[in-house]
Amino acid sequence: MTDTSYTIVELLGDGISAELSQSVHRIAESLPFRLSFVPVDLSDEARCKGGTDCYDEAVALMLEHGTSIKYPTATTRESPNKVLRDRCKFAVIHRPVSTIPGIENNFTKSIDIDVVRIATGGTYEDAGRRVGPDTAVSLRVISKGPCKHASRFAFRLAMLRGKGVVSTSKWTIQKETDGLFEEVAARVAKDYPTIPYRKELFDALLAGLIMNPDRYGVIVTPNEYGDFLSDTACGLIGSIGLGDSASYAFDDDGQITTAMFDPAGGTAPDIAGQDLANPTAALLAMANMLRHLGEVKAADALKASLLAALADGEKTRDIGGTLGTKAFTETVAKRLESQLASA
């Protein structure tokens, strides 16, 4: 093991959170460098007892250390994800989705996309209000800053992946809000003349993704559209629980200042503590986190080890296997150790 060490803020949650954390820690033991975890309890019980204190602690540590991994939290009085998003000023959410060999699904083609979603604005900022007994109204906001951050992130990602960029919205209907987003995306595209770029209406893109998924690489889109799209894409590969997510905040120069990585699935309280949780999404989030830290070799080795285990039928019961959470994690850890040793 090298002397290299990274401090990771670990945001603990509810349901299967503890088991996912154990999986991440086991994988960390197999890495050739040290991950020093700083835990913060964001479980529903902790939030009930501590009020905003637990958020204050979490945000202070996230801003101090820059990198965090979060596990599923129950949305009760408030959404912890939204609180962290607002207080850390996350502007972009990245969700990679690709077909995983060895996992059955109802989709006959292969998909390999990166959904880059504006993390703020859209219809999610305003719960709305009633206007008389028969009418309700809400405000929809699109801001230039997050549009620019998301577009830049999408094009930089496309450069790394050798893909093109598609911006998508309903600009023909939402002419001012979605129109502003598309204007910004098109302006940023001019700074990346070698990257193929086009825009598509969101409803047409959903159909196109299903009929011709090979036409799509990196997709950048406003908040709610990205939410719909990433869950739809996860459904195509077999389960929402197979998706991972990353949230980013940026400085004025477009450099990442704070990053949070998390599995996109829920708390699954019905299976918590029974060694039934599938840690695939948490480990994919971990691999993405390692890449962000600059440990590209370890990130690639972890993802390759995870996918190889699944392809060989070594998987958890929810996706047709026989392994429990701990046994599956151990399988991936051993494969990772072997791959790193031979590299």
Query: Do residues 244 and 200 make contact, with C-beta atoms less than 8 angstroms apart?
Result: no
Which superfamily is assigned to 105-237 in CATH?
Answer: Isopropylmalate Dehydrogenase (3.40.718.10)
Given the residues 203, 214, 251, 312, select the one marked as catalytic: 203
pLDDT for position 125: 80
- Catalytic status, residue 86: no
Given the residues 231, 275, 300, 318, select the one marked as catalytic: 231
Q: Say if residue 268 is exposed, middle or buried (CB neighbours under 10 Å; 0-12, 13-18, 19+).
A: buried
Domain(s) labelled CATH 3.40.718.10 in the chain stretch across 1-90+255-343, 105-237
- Catalytic status, residue 203: yes
- Catalytic status, residue 231: yes
Given the residues 6, 55, 71, 124, select the one marked as catalytic: 124
User: Can you say whether the dihedral through the CA atoms of 281, 286, 287, 291 is positive or negative?
Assistant: positive
Report d(CA 161, CA 154) in Å as an integer. 10
Other CB atoms within a 10 A radius of the CB of residue 131 amount to 9
CATH topology of domain 1-90+255-343: Isopropylmalate Dehydrogenase (3.40.718)
Tens digit of each residue's pLDDT, the chain (343 residues): 778 999 999 999 999 999 999 999 999 999 999 999 999 999 999 999 988 899 999 999 999 999 999 999 998 888 899 899 999 999 999 999 999 999 988 999 999 999 999 999 888 888 899 999 999 999 999 999 999 999 999 999 999 999 999 999 999 999 999 999 999 999 999 999 999 999 999 999 999 999 999 999 999 999 999 999 999 999 999 888 788 999 999 998 889 999 999 998 889 999 999 999 999 999 999 999 999 999 999 999 999 999 999 999 999 998 889 999 999 999 999 999 999 998 7
Given the residues 227, 248, 303, 315, select the one marked as catalytic: 227
pTM of the model: 0.94
Given the residues 82, 89, 170, 326, select the one marked as catalytic: 170
Report d(CA 299, CA 96) in Å as an integer. 14
User: Can you say whether the dihedral through the CA atoms of 173, 177, 179, 181 is positive or negative?
Assistant: negative
